[in-house]
Amino acid sequence: MVLTAAENQGESCMLCQHRYHCMAMLGLSLQQLKQYRRAEAMLKKSVIYAKSLLKGKIVKASDLYIEGLTEMELKYSMAECHIVIGQPNLALSVLETVGPRSRSIKFNMLLGNLYQQSGMERSAISAFKEVLKECPCAIEAAEKLLMLRLPLSEVTHIMSSGDSPPPEWLLTFVKGLSARANRDFSSSVSTLRQLEEHSPLRNNAHLLATLGITYYMQGDEKCAMPVLQKAHELEPLSMEGVAMLGSLYYSDHRIKELEVLAAATVSVSENSAHPWILLAYYCHVSKRTTKAIYFAHKACSIDPLSVEGLLLKGGLLLELKKMQEAALHYREAMQLAPHRFEPYKVVTRTIFSISNKSEIIMLQSDNEF
């Protein structure tokens, strides 16, 4: 209503910069209310209006772009909206319109993730490097760079280039992540176990979750389960590793434990992919495949970059003989996490189980593994 009045009465009702602020805050509010299409449209309108004011020299940039309402921040929110409604390419296009010097740490992190999802590895590496330069202790950025085959020496050099060197335990932790990224799971497990047993990080939930995930990637489900269980007990509100723990419960037919884990995770947050992944596992093991597909789809909608969500949905689609759709999900999961063994295992098993040669050719051509 205020914006309509401002449009009809001009500056006699509201100053131009205040009108921009009102438009921008409305767009951000709509995003919080999960009205993503309306939010994106209003944020885009705000950005265009701000540019017209600056081009006409009607207001100063310092009066227009106040904290929280800069062009970079609005475009970041626009990209988030595009991602949620399944438009990652549009999200990437929006982010690329912001100059490198104006990009924040979280901006570069999202940009790097989208570049990685799109297979643009060199651009992803550049974005993650910027994150690590600004925040040398950003473990997620360091892990992303290692997964993109950047040498450990280069990653640790970036981390150590700041005013204060990172603690030794952090560099050891990154060394463990590097071994995992290079598929040397035995070395990774050894490094992480040593860190857990002989450092100030004993009983740290994040370290234990990382160790449990590494066991899982190694295919050692027997060791992975108790470690992931302990991590969850230490930090029951953390989502780290719960999807893999749910996968282990599912494969071991521990229906009761899976039900309890799913309920606990849903109570923490419904805005993460993890609770919906666990609900999908629970429905599938309970022979409710339709609901399982629905929850898996919801998980992927909430977080299109969720490897666990993509793998789960791909597996469910494969079970329903929807080969091409399943192949797309597995290909995307492999793009995000080429070190994960599940897509290779499932596709190999599927090829051996298919008797129709034409179906085998179709599956192989779709995946190009």
pLDDT at 363 over 50: no
**Largest separation between any pair of C-alpha atoms in the chain:** 76
Can you give the residue ranges of every domain in the chain? 1-94, 103-166, 168-235
Rg (CA), the chain: 23
User: In angstroms, rounded to a whole number, what is the distance separating the alpha carbons of residues 201 and 212?
Assistant: 15
Cβ atoms within 10 Å, residue 193: 17
**Residue among 265, 267, 319 at smallest CA distance from 290:** 319
User: In angstroms, rounded to a whole number, what is the distance separating the alpha carbons of residues 352 and 327?
Assistant: 16
The chain-wide mean pLDDT, for the chain, equals 85
- 1-94 and 168-235 agree in CATH topology: yes
C-alpha triplet 292, 295, 301: angle, nearest 5°: 140
Residues in the chain: 369
Residue 161's pLDDT band, with cuts at 50, 70 and 90, is confident
Task: Give the pLDDT confidence score for residue 86 in this predicted structure.
Answer: 83
User: In angstroms, rounded to a whole number, what is the distance separating the alpha carbons of residues 148 and 145?
Assistant: 5
The DSSP H or E segment spanning 160 is none
Query: pLDDT tens digit string along 22-52?
Result: 899 999 999 999 999 999 999 999 999 999 9
User: In angstroms, rounded to a whole number, what is the distance separating the alpha carbons of residues 94 and 88?
Assistant: 10
Average pLDDT over residues 351-364: 51
User: In angstroms, rounded to a whole number, what is the distance separating the alpha carbons of residues 6 and 202?
Assistant: 59
User: In angstroms, rounded to a whole number, what is the distance separating the alpha carbons of residues 30 and 43?
Assistant: 10
- DSSP helix/strand/coil, 166: coil
Average pLDDT over residues 4-17: 61
Interhelix angle 71-84/36-55, rounded to 10 degrees, is 150
**Token pair listed for 212:** 């449990």
What topology does CATH give the domain 168-235?
1.25.40
**Token pair listed for 321:** 């003989």
**Residue among 314, 320, 304 at smallest CA distance from 347:** 314
Query: pLDDT tens digit string along 291-345?
Result: 888 888 888 888 877 888 888 888 888 888 887 788 788 888 877 777 777 776 6
Q: Which residue has the tokens 């051996």?
A: 352
**CATH 1.10.357.10, domain 1-94, yes or no:** no
Position 43: which residue type? L
Residue 10's pLDDT band, with cuts at 50, 70 and 90, is low
**Token pair listed for 213:** 């995930």
Least confident range from 122-136, 179-193, 317-331: namely 317-331
C-alpha triplet 282, 285, 289: angle, nearest 5°: 90
Task: Give the pLDDT confidence score for residue 135 in this predicted structure.
Answer: 92
**Residue among 33, 45, 38, 53 at smallest CA distance from 74:** 45
